[in-house]
Structure 1
């Protein structure tokens, strides 16, 4: 099977390349600014705003499966419109599509969210992600939308790097005690995405870890694992900061977990 990973140079994308290659699949990956380090894949430059380039990559790769692990951040043209453009291309070429979404589509007002909950984003990024979900499922109902949470793993994530820098005193900032998420290990997430891709799944699925933790609690776990002084980690309240966004968002992944052999481990 030929797999095309959109956003292969990112943290999750790199793990998807590793796992698809290990499974013996022919793998291609795209990047927006520079290719990743993986040598098991063929790299293609792609800006999801460029419909002509997207069509060219799809025609050359002819993937059986497309996984959209790109971020695009709050950029509407990439995150929202680009994702719908990708869904239209996948449908046209007969490729199964798995789209990675985020818990940022929720406001935190109800805290616990399963797959039946409707998005109510409070940030531009969350709004773009929510629009992508709605748009791509409208044009390609057979696609999978997989919402996830904070992605960690093996010291390579942004959050783990931040904890090390804060503990060393080389970074300003705090770890919030009121910002709650359900972190998931990158290897578990990638395996679950590939398992969903190999099934007849479609629609909304949640892929998050079982433990609800504040960013400070997660930082303490990382510090203890890596032999750092957890007492050096500064803490604060997001509610008292100027950062926008939800405080407590806990993805309920039980329904999706029952369909999977991959275990979505909690951060603990």
Structure 2
């Protein structure tokens, strides 16, 4: 398979590239500022905000499938418009599309969210991801849209680094924000399964357990032999608000659709 990974210099995109190469696929990865060292990946610079550039790249690369994982937290044009450009170019090519979305499309509540629930964003990033989903579904109803949560990797990954910074006094964790963290390797394997399949629509792909950021920090502290009592915390209200507090994703459909088992934070950080 010839696979185009848009946003390959990101945490998840890079892992998708690595695992796709191990599986023997021909991989083209895009970056905006800087590529990352991954053996065998054909790197192409791309600004997804430029629809003509996205179309030209897809026309040149001629992929069988496209993974769309590019985003910038505070940039609507990259997160929403960029996703629409990628979806349009992939559909024109007739390539299989897997779009990576986020639990941030939801507004937060105590009950878990099911796969097909419509977006209800309450902050700008969530609204951008919801707009991206809408564009993808309109352009290509056969695409798979992966709603995931906090993505965990090694000590250099964003979410683990944030916990380590909170333990060192350089950041604070929200004590009342609950998510369903998932490992980057598991999520990448799930994305590649969807690439090879024909699943259409939204699919929750978070870990099995809801975990507060404070409890995630405690798990990281235990994993790295640090004193959890040093964790700095705050509430969402103390930060100025505007973020959803509790977003849990049901994983029943993912367990039915995927061979990959999506592990949660406690299992990933044990030992």
Aligned to 1:82: 82
How many Å separate the matches in 2 of 1:176 and 1:165? 13
Aligned to 1:145: 145
- Which stretches of structure 1, 4 residues or more, deviate above 4 A after TM superposition? none
TM-score (normalizing by structure 1) = 0.95
State the match for 1:70 in structure 2.
Answer: 70
Task: Give the C-alpha shift of residue 48 in structure 1.
Answer: 1.1
Does residue 7 of the first structure (1) align with residue 7 of the second (2)? Answer: yes
For the residues of structure 2 that align with 1:225 and 1:114, how far apart are their CA atoms? Answer: 31
Q: Does the 8 Å CA contact 2:70/2:78 hold for their aligned counterparts?
A: no
Contact 1:239 1:247 in 2 (8 A): no
- Structure 2 CA distance for aligned equivalents of residues 13 and 74 of structure 1: 19
Partner of 1:187: 185
Stretch deviating more after TM superposition (181-190 or 48-57): 48-57
Q: Secondary structure at the match of 1:258?
A: helix
Instruction: Tell me the CA shift for residue 110 of structure 1.
Output: 5.1
Deviations 1:177-196 (A, max 9, x none): 10000000000100011111
TM-score (norm 2): 0.94
Offset of 1:101 from its aligned partner? 0.2
Separation of aligned partners in 2, 1:80 and 1:163: 28
Deviation, 1:111, is: 3.8
Say which of 223, 226, 246 aligns to 2:224: 226
Task: Show the counterpart of 1:256.
Answer: 254
Deviates more, 1:183-192 or 1:79-88: 79-88
- In the TM superposition, what is the alpha-carbon distance from 1:223 to its structure 2 partner? 1.0
CA contact (8 A) 1:74 1:128 kept: no
3-state SS of 2:66 partner: strand
Aligned residues: 266
Shift of 1:161: 1.1
Matched, 1:217 2:243: no
Cα distance per residue 1:53-92 (max 9 Å; x no partner): 1122112211111001111323222211221111111011
Partner in structure 1 of residue 122 of structure 2: 122
Question: 1:134 matched to which residue of 2?
Answer: 134
DSSP 3-state at the match of 2:137: helix
Query: Shift of the alpha carbon at 1:104?
Result: 0.6
151, 159, 178: which one aligns with 2:176: 178
**Given the superposition, is the C-alpha separation of residues 13 and 263 from structure 1 closer, same or farther in structure 2, using an over 3 Å criterion?**
same
Aligned to 2:101: 101
Inter-partner Cα distance in structure 1 for 2:30 and 2:61: 11
Distance 1:154 1:161 in 2: 8
Q: Which whole-Å CA distance do the structure 1 matches of 2:149 and 2:114 have between them?
A: 13
Structure 2 unpaired stretches of 5+: 267-271
Of 223, 231, 236, which residue of structure 1 is paired with 2:234?
236
**Contact 1:180 / 1:215 at 8 angstroms: preserved in 2?**
yes
Q: Structure 2: how far apart are the matches of 1:109 and 1:251?
A: 11
- Equivalent residues of 1:35, 1:43 under 8 A apart: yes
Q: Which moved more, 1:35-44 or 1:215-224?
A: 35-44
Q: How many angstroms does 1:23 deviate by?
A: 0.3
